[in-house]
Copies of this chain bind each other. A is one copy, B any other.
Amino acid sequence: MEQQFNILKKNGLSITEGRKKILELFLDAEGALAHADIEKHTDAAFDRVTVYRTLQTFVEKGIIHQIPTTDNAILYALCKDRCEEGHHHDEHVHFICDNCNKTICLDDVTVPDVKLPKGFQPLQSAMVVKGICDDCR
């Protein structure tokens, strides 16, 4: 039985073609995907709106997480940690390659704690490192 099926089942989601396909893309992807990537890779088999809604649902369920960027294109990647509905634990560093433009989850590199000024209460941290990835040098 495919992994996609299990993930959807476990999260109480109906099994649909769109969800299976998009999940498959993430499972096969080397790096993170933007909405536009998904549309490309599915050959527009699914409506744009369906893709938006699927991504939204997956984020809510803790199946994928978002990666902040500086270029008006949210990136999404599979959660490999113990993320749950409404509660993510993706405190790993993300690496964006300036050359091949891939975004990679460094699952083993934890976002370090920083000492904040008095009065600031941290709840979630994200760290994005840009540079040259291991494939590109």
Contacts and interface: CB of A to CB of B under 8 A. Distances in A.
Interface in A87-129: 93, 95, 98, 106, 108-109, 111-112, 114-129
A128 to B, nearest CB: 5
Interface residues of A, number: 40
Copies of this chain, tallied across the complex: 2
A114 B93 contact: yes
A123 B130 contact: yes
A134 interface: yes
A98 B125 CA distance: 12
A69 interface: yes
Interface of A: 66-74, 93, 95, 98, 106, 108-109, 111-112, 114-135, 137
